[in-house]
Amino acid sequence: MKTKPVVPRVIAEGDLERAFRYYLDTAGSKVAERFATEFEQILRLISRFPALGSPRYAFEHGLDEIRYWPLKKFPYMIFYQELDSHIDVWRVLHGHMDIAEQLRDLD
In this predicted model, what pLDDT tens digit does every residue of 21-59 receive, in sequence order? 999 999 999 999 999 999 999 999 999 999 999 988 776
Could you give the percent of the chain with pLDDT greater than 90?
A: 75
77 vs 60, residue with greater confidence: 77
32 vs 66, residue with greater confidence: 32
Compute the distance between CA of residue 38 and CA of residue 7 in angstroms, rounded to an integer.
17
Compute the distance between CA of residue 89 and CA of residue 14 in angstroms, rounded to an integer.
12
CATH of 6-103, one of 3.40.190.10, 3.20.20.70, 3.30.2310.20, 3.30.70.1380: 3.30.2310.20
pLDDT at residue 102, rounded to an integer: 75
Compute the distance between CA of residue 77 and CA of residue 68 in angstroms, rounded to an integer.
6
Domain limits, the chain: 6-103
Q: Where are the alpha helices (DSSP H) in the chain?
A: 10-27, 29-48, 56-61, 99-103
pLDDT at residue 16, rounded to an integer: 97
The model's pTM: 0.89
pLDDT level of residue 2 (50, 70, 90 thresholds): confident
Question: Interior CA angle at 54 toward 51 and 56, to 5°?
Answer: 135
Is the model's pLDDT at 107 over the cut of 60? no
